[in-house]
Amino acid sequence: MPKSTKSTDILMQEALTAAQAEEKPDVSKIAREFGVNRRTLANRVKNRHRAHNAYTPVNKALEPYQEEALIHWIRHMKDSNMPITPLLVAAWANRALARAG
């Protein structure tokens, strides 16, 4: 049975802390000790990749007039039998936010 994401994240964080405590960490050895992926640990030690949940979301709410326009656009797409995906809705909302500044 695979480990849960939470326990894997905790193990990865502990391994990262152990690696950062050393001047020249042996990433392979530390990865084996903590049972985590060596490549992922090496990338995090070198700050090439942060954990997905380490990013701070920059969610910004739409203004009421933008929400109304989004709803109108969704209804238009639905009436035109066009597929509406979460990715399309997010792209539309991001464009609206970018245009508004």
pTM > 0.85: no
Domain assignment present for residue 30? The answer is yes
In a domain, 28, yes or no: yes
Please indicate, yes or no, if residue 87 is contained in any of the structural domains: yes
Cα separation, 6 vs 27, whole angstroms: 21
> Among 54-58, 61-65, 66-70, 74-78, whose mean pLDDT is lowest?
54-58
State which residues form the domain around 41: 8-47
Span 10-59, pLDDT tens digits: 888 899 889 888 888 999 999 999 999 999 999 888 875 555 555 544 56
Within-domain flag for 24:
yes
Q: Does 43 lie in the same domain as 12?
A: yes
Domain count, the chain: 2
| Three-class DSSP category at 17 | helix
**Is residue 43 one of the residues assigned to a domain?**
yes
Confidence at 1, pLDDT banded by 50, 70, 90: very low
Indicate the residue type of 19. A
Instruction: Report yes or no on 56 lying in a domain.
Output: no
93 belongs to a structural domain? yes
Q: What is the pLDDT of residue 61?
A: 83
* pLDDT tens profile 77-93: 999 999 999 989 988 98
16: phi then psi, degrees, rounded to nearest 5: -65, -40
The residue with greater pLDDT, 5 or 13, is 13
